Structure 1
Amino acid sequence: MHRHGTVFEELAVEVMAELPTDEARCEALDLVELVRAVPRAWPDVRDPGSVEEIREAFEPRC
């Protein structure tokens, strides 16, 4: 389990580094905090049918 967490953290660092501005990084962190606070309110990405739901929810931000 620790290894999975390490991989996730490394990926998160890479993704954050790819964001073009400090404003974009702040928006991403705000979104992470929202999801962390109420995780069941968000689509489960493990569900294959969730792709469309996620796309609809985040299209304006993508």
Structure 2
Amino acid sequence: MRCGAAVEELASDVMGELPTDAQREIVERVELVRSAPDAWLDVRDPGSVEEFREVFGARC
């Protein structure tokens, strides 16, 4: 199984275990990111790790 397929399956399993309100919030956030991808950090950029730490804290 490809890594992407395994991650997709895991995400689907996790979503299925969440309460309906949480599922709705996650879908809304995913749609927000999809609608404006340039507004978010590009994880393909090697320097993005430091940017994530600045935004989300050292535990990220």
Tell me the TM-score normalized by structure 1.
Answer: 0.61
Question: 1:37 is matched with which residue?
Answer: 35
Shift of 1:52: 3.1
Distance in 1, Cα, partners of 2:6 & 2:54: 26
RMSD: 2.4
Aligned to 2:13: 14
Runs (5+) with no aligned partner, structure 2: none
Deviation, structure 1 residue 12: 1.9
Distance 1:12 1:35 in 2: 17
- Following superposition, which runs of at least 4 residues in structure 1 exceed 4 angstroms of deviation? none
Paired positions, count: 53
| TM-score, normalised via structure 2 length | 0.63
Contact 1:16–1:25 under 8 Å retained in 2 = yes
Cα separation, 2, equivalents of 1:51 and 1:14: 28
Counterpart of 2:53, as a letter, is V
SS state of the match for residue 43, structure 1?
A: coil
Equivalent residue letter for 2:12: V
